[in-house]
Amino acid sequence: MADFDRAMEAVVKWEGGFVNHPDDPGGATNLGITRNTLSGWRGRPVSVEEVRDLTYEEAKAIYRTLYWDVCRCGEMEWPAALMVFDASVNHGVRQAARFLQRAVGVTADGIIGPITLGAVQAVDAKTVAEAVAARRMAFYGELATFGVFGFGWARRLMNILRLSLEPAPPSDKPAPPPEDGEDGDAPPAADTGTSESKPDTEAPADPDAPDTPADAPAEEPTS
């Protein structure tokens, strides 16, 4: 299944460093983490200076826990996982889930559970990525701030779509030697399936509850 570190590298390069753009609904942001999200993560209000001082390692932990894991991207193939992960960072996890659910034809309740995952796994992952990307582009075009941020959003989306459709790079880990009596062409290990499923009705720990950060109206991207 999908590799978080590879996805993190693809997404965070679009988030950049510290910004505090007056037209950005996310407000003060660093490495794509808004002040509101960082406050929720640390369990207390944070200052603009604390956002500025956010480390890469803490940002990575936030991305894994509040976005990648909540959207269950590790249980998807790479194309779908990268597209959904980037959507969760850019739009919020519930909106990303809705894009995915509409793409695979299940109820768009904003919660990725076993029904959604089953539908995703029944469709070619590249097709899923393309369908989610199309919905994201249409969504961008309807936002009032598209004139300000639209070109950057479109470039980001096209880059993520391209990366999602590329094959995984070869592993640097050497293959283990064959067991005694084997000819070196042993079959791959059996697929053990996904981790124990949660019911679709169980709400995840959404960092942008109910749909977006409190300071981001109408589910606009925060970067």
What pLDDT, in 10s, does the model give residues 139-162? 999 999 899 889 999 999 999 999
What pLDDT, in 10s, does the model give residues 158-183? 999 999 999 866 654 444 444 444 43
- Residue 110 has which token pair? 């904003």
91 has pLDDT over 60: yes
3 state SS of 16: coil
Residue type, 33: I
> Higher confidence at residue 108 or residue 211?
108
**Nearest one of 8, 44, 7, 14 to 29, comparing CA atoms:** 14
- Residue 142 has which token pair? 């309807």
Angle at 106 between CA 124 and CA 203, to 5 degrees: 110
pTM above 0.85, yes or no: no
Task: Place 196 in a pLDDT band, splitting at 50, 70 and 90.
Answer: very low
Predicted confidence at residue 149, as pLDDT, reads 87
Sign of the C-alpha dihedral computed for residues 200, 201, 204 and 207 taken in this order: positive
Predicted confidence at residue 44, as pLDDT, reads 97
Q: How far is CA 79 from CA 18, 57, 124, in A?
A: 29, 25, 9
Mean pLDDT in the chain?
81
Predicted confidence at residue 170, as pLDDT, reads 62
**Nearest one of 102, 155, 103 to 129, comparing CA atoms:** 103
Predicted confidence at residue 74, as pLDDT, reads 96
3 state SS of 168: coil
Predicted confidence at residue 104, as pLDDT, reads 97
- Strands 29-30 and 33-34, sheet pairing: antiparallel
106 has pLDDT over 50: yes
CA–CA distance, 161 with 91 (Å, rounded to integer): 16
Q: How far is CA 163 from CA 5, 72, 78, 116, 121, in A?
A: 14, 19, 9, 23, 19
Q: How far is CA 208 from CA 49, 122, 124, in A?
A: 21, 29, 29
